[in-house]
Structure 1
Amino acid sequence: MIDTVVESRADVAPRLRTLLLTDLCNSTELVEKLGDTRSAELFQAHDRLVLELQQRWRARLIDRSDGLLLLFERAIDGLGFALDYTRGLRELGKEQNATLQSRAGLHVGEVLTWQNSSEAVNLGAKPLEVEGLAKPMAARLMALARPGQILVSAVAEPLAHRAARELGPRGEQLLWKSWGRWRFKGVPGAQEIFEVGEAGVAPLRVPRNGPKAWRDIPLWRRPAALVAEAAVLAGIATGVWFATRPQPAIAFAERDWVVVGDLRNVTGDARLDDALEQAFRISLEQSRYVNVLSDLKARDTLGRMQRPANTTLDRAIASEIALRDGARAVILPTVAEVGGHLRVSAEVIDPHTQTTVYAAYADGKGASSALASVDDVTEELRQKLGEALASVQKDSKPLPQVSTANLDALKAYALGQDAYGKDRFSEALQLYQQATTLDPKFALAWIGQARTLNAMVRTSEAMAPLHRAQQLRDRLPPREAMYLDGWSAELEAPDQALAKWELLAKMYPDFGPGPQNVAIQMLYRNRYADALAYLRMGTDTEDEDALFYDMQGRALLGLENYTQAAGMFERALQEKGSDSLRRRADVFAAQRKFAEAETLLAKAQVDNVYPWIDRISVAADKGDWANAFRNLEAARKVAGTIEGDPIRLRAFAVTEASLLLASGKKVEAGKLASGTARQSLRALEHDTLADLPDELDLALSATLVALRAGDGQIATEALVALDSRPHLRDLDYIAEMKAVVRAWQSIDAGRGDEAIALLKPFADGSARYQTHQALMQAYLLAGNRVSAAVQAKWLQQRRGLAYIEQGCGQCRQTLNVIDSNQVNRFSAKQ
């Protein structure tokens, strides 16, 4: 019987968790002062506070008496609990005219957890047990703390510090104080201890020595030794201090961010201005240890500081940018002539104090030595910031090898990067071309040309510079080589693009193009939760621009989270993301707030083709067919002026066919949809590989509308064309649309069960809206009205998805929205 009582289920392996241990100070004296009745009321209020904070900070309460033992997934959650608990105790104390404080210790480490059996719990055991070295470590920290003090281990501090912005405005005001190295009884090695708190609340006093924890003081600093040493060292103390004083330190951890200030060029050689600044960035960006804040992000922050974009990033300005964006350090490069040599130097600045904590320099002969000197300086800085020498040597190639030895070419590339970041694509293209004219082996500049031409919707022209960059792949830094692989797949092998971007994101999670391009692929596949995870996988705000917020808004709208989606689109609009205006209108429209949606869409530029898609859909959503057709004509006129984008006109043809179908003109709808599908199928013979997935998606969407209008002949042609392209046929979203088309063929033939079998494998949480619509029709045909009602309810509840679903230039948006209303009529009959 005893064996069954103590039986428990233990985790098979340790897990990394955050532990918070607190102790209520002077609780016995408090009970004596207040009396039993008031004390009971106070502790009941205390219990309510703890429960509220558990829910707010996702805490698991393991044990309690006068104190608490809590388990968290993340260090920032544990810190948030401790801060709110400290404030909450102060407020409870004020209500009772008493001082109520706690001591707290926060640590991150591996623990073993297991659940006791129900019999053991009934006999008084805790439901969950936690053991491991992390538990006594947290206890030692708590025992050291003074009343009201929160002590954090060296493991937990960088994790909590980097994520402090999640606490909102107060996270930027937190005080972080290192109390040096301490020794814990039973634990080998010294441990650095930090105090975290809010101004006016945290005591900011040295923790107390105790029998189980004490300051790690060298032998020569102990009182008895100091007396003996003082007599010997008094005469030479000043000289020894200046000769041996340690360099000031900066709390820099792996994947922390740095701001590179503007290069100070005092040589008079203008070629070195932009060229060497870009060289510093390229050299530093080879590191997987140091993250470099992009110049574009720094200029955006200048805008929020209400300063001109061309403001010089000197010590003060760069430090303010670092503080605003969460960067740990500022690097200020300088180039000067010293003693007949060209000296390249750099200072590492603590942005909090604006003091120099590290400096490095390298000398060379003439301008030709500059790039080698930059390599030497950045290598030394990386080591001083804590990167291992082996890592520096492994992840570094000489600048002339990974960029160019031609300073004029490097300057042209730097100016091209600036123009590209400001969406001046024609200017950027000319500058990248100038860079490759000066140095035909400048691989980064060839990549710049390819991505710029793609942004200008000149995909076929992008192939030549892409192929040239591929030939020069060995002249790229490792990160940029993987970036090239992603673009190569995007433009030449779309079925491999997701895997390439996922690999880049895994290797370099803080390099924005990796996670963002994975997120774009996930959005296209309706995998909205996965898209959010990739967008939030970096450590800091480097890529928090309009696109970053807009993509999060799209994912949240696809998940029907209207409130948060609206907030993200508002943030994007604040960052001047004009395209987010139409998506903010979609949030209103998905909730049938048509007046608000139309008010926003009226503010969109009339020569921008994309808001017209939403204007058409909102009118159709209201059943205002006349206005929907008027908006369609206006959209066609705008689309006809866009050079190199014929697919947009075909997408509007699918939209028109959807309107005709919904307004009862099935013959016209079928004829238009079939003709559009054939146009897309013919275009497949001439499109670049990058355009083929969208073109094929459009052809299948047009075929779907034709089938629903009663014209089934085109379906066979479309499926044959698809089967002749196996590299596209196997794309998951193309395979799904193929299944929808085949399912409608089965529905037309009266084979409902066959259609259900085709569609069910795709109804996995990321299915297209039209997949569920076809599934509903198939269930109705099969006589299964219960399952059809389930699909109808799903379609009713996913109006956000109906509006935001990607694919073929959102050619199915209007059809989706119309179907969401027809589902209402079906449900009303149930």
Structure 2
Amino acid sequence: MNEMSHRAPVDVPQLRTLLLTDLCDSTSLVERLGDGPAAELFREHDRLVLKLQQQWRGRLIDRSDGLLLLFERPIDGLGFALDYVRGLRELGKSRKLELKARAGLHVGEVLTWRNSDEAVRVGAKPLEVEGLAKPMAARLMAMARPGQILLSAVAEPLAHRAARELGERGQHLLWKSHGRWRFKGVPDAQHIYEVGEPGIAPLRAPPNTAKVWRDIPLWRRPAALAAEVAVLAVIGVGVWFMTRPQPAIAFNQRDWVVVADLRNLTGQAVLDDSLEQAFRISLEQSRYVNVLSDLKARDTLARMQRKPDTVLDRTIASEIALRDGARAVILPTVAEVGGRVRVSAEVIDPHTQTTVFAETADGTGAVSALGSIDTVTAALREKLGEAIQAIEQDSKPLPQVTTRNLDALKAYALGNQAIAQRLYDEAAQYFEAAVRLDAKFALAHVGLVRIHASDVDWKRARLYLDRALQAKEHLTRRDLLYLDAWEAELGPRSDLLAPAKWKMLATMYPDFHAGHYNYAWGSFYASRFDEALKHARAAAAPQNPLRSRSHELIGRVYLAQGQHAEALVELKRAEAIGAYGPSRRRAAALAAMKRFDEAEAVLASMPPSPLRGISLTNQLESIAILVDQGRLDAAADRSRRAATEAGEHSRLLATEFALIRETVDHLRGKRVLGSTGEVYRRALEGVRDVNNDVDREEQAFIALSAAYLAQRGGDATLGQQAIRDFAPLVAGLGDPNTSSLYVIVQAGQARLAKQPQAAIDLLKAELDGSELFQLHVALRDAYAAAGQGDEVARQADWLQSHRGLAYIEAAGSQVLQAMNVSDTALRSR
């Protein structure tokens, strides 16, 4: 039999990631341990390798003292290598041994072929791998120090860009360039990189050997250096300082920087905060460089157990950068030199705290500093790798996008500092002072929009929105998109128009977390849960100072999707990050799991809110949990008390809790058609009020819910009236949930008119995965009226399996929560 009969045909070359590892001193290890203990250790080692193979989707090609694995992607190979190095440490620690491996990671083309079954039986490997990429990976591995992971210049940028996929650990990896190296037999020098975790990676250059050595320029070799020293002694240290080579820093698109506190050496106090704020605004125009917010930096200071007013100098800012995964620190300075105002900035490597490069610009007078900052930040962005065309395209001059009034700029800066300390009333006062000094200071108006919108003070938010729109030519590209989204959010048909605006902002500026979060919330409200989860996760990045809100939203999405345990984990994480106690969302998750005692304990432990409206909304879960347990009399008592309190607070809460009171009475078997009609009329007044541009959509949802409740009690009169009243209104409201509820009411009328098939057809047309919970209740009842028992059971099963959605559905400010929960039991009406 000839040799080729042992092999299948060779495949075409394929681009693959190769990882080679070598367990250091394995022979001496066996001698020290003895055969038996060594065999047990290697069995544990093999279990570790198998586990990591499965986790990182690797294919083991060969093994002896080391491993050869193939991966589809460099990030998978890197993930394996990091976990392997850490796993060896743990194996050794339990035996008081130091277990280390060296690893080499490369990406290149390889040829693979399968050996025949006969060849495998006589000892051949199942899969053969050959190609130039294999010896390259082997040389990287061989030159590595124990515990060191080396990457080629091909693998490093691919793995570096994807490091975010490793989660929070990926943000803290250490990356180091070891320069150019020569391999024996390879004509071209190769750039070598190292990556590892703090406290584990050696982060030292590999040793020179006869087969691999550092490619040092001629002028830096010993013989030449001796001559150069003599020359330098003549020329002088000053010339050497100007001509010395600059160190490099590994910076990729969308990496983060920490801006340290500005050093003001001029003695002019007005420049202290104003220029630091201007520096941030100028740098934040980049879509290449991400700037860690001051709010996030102060949060990290708190984790470092330092005071909020700690100065972010070179050392403190570098520690923040390492903790938050920032690649560089920027240290800005303003000084008076020779009668001119000089702005300078150093880019600092946070690992070594050394200056990588610096830029300066001079001007005349304090106001010139704004133009100088633009000059300096543009030069920094270019040196960090941003294209000149992108810098020119994405940048507007600071005097245009801020203000020439330095006092107004300082007030704006102090407002942002107050926000960083969560002193929102104080921040609003500073922003108002800024716009009094410069009415065209659009960024200060936008700051006031944010504050009043977060307080749900829509009227004041719209007031400042209008003023910001009048000065929108003074906004950066990013802030213009942000303002555009708020205009849609606060305008008519917001539920229909705003999500697209937030998504555009998230797409254009993927690391501006407000875009992701607001789009995620809009998607959650519309029950597009997969989309909501994707963008909520993006907004939960470690660099987001408000990521606790994102984790809470992730928990709510999980709850809606039926992943109750996962929801509970995320909600607890949100509480821990945000440093607040158990929330009503956690109570809802516990109740969905039927852990009622724990849910009620959570609600009881929540302190009274200074905002009565928020305190009232906590009653939603309290009432729903009582309904869920069948304690309807207690639920009725609580809903009546809540309705009375709500009547003293706002029109919206009054109609909402009036409907909930009617819902509980309906569940108790009481006929409440007259009072339900009164709720409908009050809500309809809110919809028709021409001066009500705040809660029209919620009032419309409540009115239709009242009509639907009457239908469930067997009354068609209110439903018929609702169909007439809302026919001209629904399309103009633009709320998809209100439109869906209108269809449910139409179907209810058809069912009561003994036309169940017409009702079924109307409801089935709405099924797209984002439908309201009550649509399935209406379908169940329509199928029951049509005598289709199998379909009734199918809908009942759906309702029972969606308890999380029943508790967390956001439509209509959760006015249907108690009704939803009551319908999760297996029964038909």
- What TM-score, normalized to structure 2? 0.85
Shift of 1:84: 3.0
User: Who is 2:69 aligned against?
Assistant: 69
User: Who is 2:549 aligned against?
Assistant: 547
Q: Give distance in 2, aligned partners of 1:80 and 1:577.
A: 32
Instruction: Please say if residues 261 and 311 of structure 2, whose CA atoms lie closer than 8 Å, have aligned partners that are also in contact.
Output: yes
Once the two structures are superposed, the pairs formed by residues 638-657 of structure 1 within 5 Å of their partners are 638-642=645-649, 645-657=650-662
Amino acid at match of 2:775: T
**369-378 or 144-153, which moves further after superposition?**
144-153
Shift of 1:482: 0.7
Instruction: Please say if residues 74 and 158 of structure 2, whose CA atoms lie closer than 8 Å, have aligned partners that are also in contact.
Output: no
Shift of 1:708: 1.2
Instruction: Please say if residues 330 and 347 of structure 2, whose CA atoms lie closer than 8 Å, have aligned partners that are also in contact.
Output: yes
Deviations 1:422-471 (A, max 9, x none): 55554444433332232222222222333333333332343343233233
SS in 1 for 2:252: coil
Residues 340 and 534 of structure 1, relative CA distance in 2, 3 Å threshold:
same
Shift of 1:264: 3.0
- Tell me, yes or no, if structure 1 residue 357 matches structure 2 residue 345: no
Deviations 1:738-781 (A, max 9, x none): 33323323333333433333333444443322122223333333
Q: Give distance in 2, aligned partners of 1:147 and 1:268.
A: 53
Once the two structures are superposed, the pairs formed by residues 434-583 of structure 1 within 5 Å of their partners are 434-492=433-491, 493-494=493-494, 495-537=496-538, 540-576=542-578, 578=580, 581-583=583-585
Q: Give distance in 2, aligned partners of 1:561 and 1:114.
A: 42
- The alignment covers a number of residue pairs equal to 805
Q: Give distance in 1, aligned partners of 2:115 and 2:280.
A: 58
Residues 516 and 351 of structure 1, relative CA distance in 2, 3 Å threshold:
same
User: Who is 1:683 aligned against?
Assistant: 686
Q: Give distance in 2, aligned partners of 1:139 and 1:518.
A: 47
**807-816 or 757-766, which moves further after superposition?**
757-766
Unaligned 5+ runs, structure 1: none
Once the two structures are superposed, the pairs formed by residues 672-821 of structure 1 within 5 Å of their partners are 672-685=675-688, 686=690, 691-725=695-729, 728=732, 731-820=735-824
Instruction: Please say if residues 517 and 535 of structure 2, whose CA atoms lie closer than 8 Å, have aligned partners that are also in contact.
Output: yes
Q: Give distance in 1, aligned partners of 2:109 and 2:743.
A: 48
Amino acid at match of 1:460: K
Instruction: Please say if residues 551 and 571 of structure 2, whose CA atoms lie closer than 8 Å, have aligned partners that are also in contact.
Output: yes
**485-494 or 697-706, which moves further after superposition?**
697-706
Deviations 1:504-560 (A, max 9, x none): 101111111110111111211223332222123366422454312222222222223
SS in 2 for 1:105: strand
Instruction: Please say if residues 258 and 330 of structure 2, whose CA atoms lie closer than 8 Å, have aligned partners that are also in contact.
Output: yes
Shift of 1:250: 3.0
Q: Give distance in 2, aligned partners of 1:599 and 1:257.
A: 42
Residues 714 and 87 of structure 1, relative CA distance in 2, 3 Å threshold:
same
Amino acid at match of 2:363: G
Instruction: Please say if residues 460 and 688 of structure 1, whose CA atoms lie closer than 8 Å, have aligned partners that are also in contact.
Output: no
Identity %: 47
Once the two structures are superposed, the pairs formed by residues 204-603 of structure 1 within 5 Å of their partners are 204=204, 206=206, 215-220=214-219, 227=223, 229=224, 232-237=227-232, 239=236, 241-420=240-419, 424-492=423-491, 493-494=493-494, 495-537=496-538, 540-576=542-578, 578=580, 581-603=583-605
Instruction: Please say if residues 113 and 128 of structure 1, whose CA atoms lie closer than 8 Å, have aligned partners that are also in contact.
Output: no
Amino acid at match of 2:571: F
Instruction: Please say if residues 432 and 446 of structure 1, whose CA atoms lie closer than 8 Å, have aligned partners that are also in contact.
Output: yes
Deviations 1:644-682 (A, max 9, x none): x422222212212221121111x20x4344332333333
**713-722 or 409-418, which moves further after superposition?**
713-722
**511-520 or 534-543, which moves further after superposition?**
534-543
Once the two structures are superposed, the pairs formed by residues 101-250 of structure 1 within 5 Å of their partners are 102-107=101-106, 138=137, 141-146=140-145, 148-153=147-152, 154-156=156-158, 158-159=160-161, 166-167=168-169, 176-182=175-181, 190-196=190-196, 199=199, 204=204, 206=206, 215-220=214-219, 227=223, 229=224, 232-237=227-232, 239=236, 241-250=240-249
SS in 2 for 1:509: coil
Among 620, 624, 636, the residue aligned to 1:629? 636
Across the aligned residues of Structure 1 and Structure 2, the Cα RMSD in angstroms comes to 4.1
Instruction: Please say if residues 146 and 208 of structure 1, whose CA atoms lie closer than 8 Å, have aligned partners that are also in contact.
Output: no
Q: Give distance in 2, aligned partners of 1:272 and 1:529.
A: 47
Residues 232 and 91 of structure 1, relative CA distance in 2, 3 Å threshold:
closer
Deviations 1:45-83 (A, max 9, x none): 54432222234x3424263444232426572x5334223
User: Who is 1:615 aligned against?
Assistant: 622
Shift of 1:401: 0.9
Amino acid at match of 1:675: E
Shift of 1:568: 2.4
Instruction: Please say if residues 113 and 131 of structure 1, whose CA atoms lie closer than 8 Å, have aligned partners that are also in contact.
Output: yes
Deviations 1:290-337 (A, max 9, x none): 111112222222222333323333333333322222222222333333
Residues 396 and 671 of structure 1, relative CA distance in 2, 3 Å threshold:
same
Residues 513 and 190 of structure 1, relative CA distance in 2, 3 Å threshold:
same
- What TM-score, normalized to structure 1? 0.85
Residues 31 and 297 of structure 1, relative CA distance in 2, 3 Å threshold:
closer
Instruction: Please say if residues 553 and 565 of structure 1, whose CA atoms lie closer than 8 Å, have aligned partners that are also in contact.
Output: yes
Q: Give distance in 1, aligned partners of 2:403 and 2:254.
A: 27
Amino acid at match of 1:615: S
Amino acid at match of 1:84: D
Residues 448 and 36 of structure 1, relative CA distance in 2, 3 Å threshold:
closer
Amino acid at match of 1:246: P
Residues 160 and 673 of structure 1, relative CA distance in 2, 3 Å threshold:
same
Residues 800 and 94 of structure 1, relative CA distance in 2, 3 Å threshold:
closer
Shift of 1:400: 1.1
Residues 43 and 428 of structure 1, relative CA distance in 2, 3 Å threshold:
closer
Instruction: Please say if residues 546 and 575 of structure 1, whose CA atoms lie closer than 8 Å, have aligned partners that are also in contact.
Output: yes
Deviations 1:355-377 (A, max 9, x none): 33333332222222221122222
Instruction: Please say if residues 80 and 167 of structure 1, whose CA atoms lie closer than 8 Å, have aligned partners that are also in contact.
Output: no
**289-298 or 673-682, which moves further after superposition?**
673-682
Deviations 1:21-44 (A, max 9, x none): 445678899999999999987765
Instruction: Please say if residues 9 and 116 of structure 1, whose CA atoms lie closer than 8 Å, have aligned partners that are also in contact.
Output: no
Q: Give distance in 2, aligned partners of 1:522 and 1:72.
A: 33
Q: Give distance in 1, aligned partners of 2:116 and 2:799.
A: 43
Q: Give distance in 1, aligned partners of 2:344 and 2:245.
A: 21
Q: Give distance in 2, aligned partners of 1:283 and 1:318.
A: 19
Shift of 1:603: 1.9
Shift of 1:707: 1.8
Residues 693 and 158 of structure 1, relative CA distance in 2, 3 Å threshold:
same
**368-377 or 722-731, which moves further after superposition?**
722-731
Residues 9 and 355 of structure 1, relative CA distance in 2, 3 Å threshold:
closer
Q: Give distance in 1, aligned partners of 2:532 and 2:786.
A: 36
Instruction: Please say if residues 722 and 729 of structure 1, whose CA atoms lie closer than 8 Å, have aligned partners that are also in contact.
Output: no
Instruction: Please say if residues 266 and 337 of structure 1, whose CA atoms lie closer than 8 Å, have aligned partners that are also in contact.
Output: yes
Residues 204 and 794 of structure 1, relative CA distance in 2, 3 Å threshold:
farther
SS in 2 for 1:155: helix
Q: Give distance in 1, aligned partners of 2:717 and 2:113.
A: 63
Amino acid at match of 1:679: R
Instruction: Please say if residues 746 and 752 of structure 1, whose CA atoms lie closer than 8 Å, have aligned partners that are also in contact.
Output: yes
Amino acid at match of 1:631: R
**116-125 or 144-153, which moves further after superposition?**
116-125
Shift of 1:486: 0.7
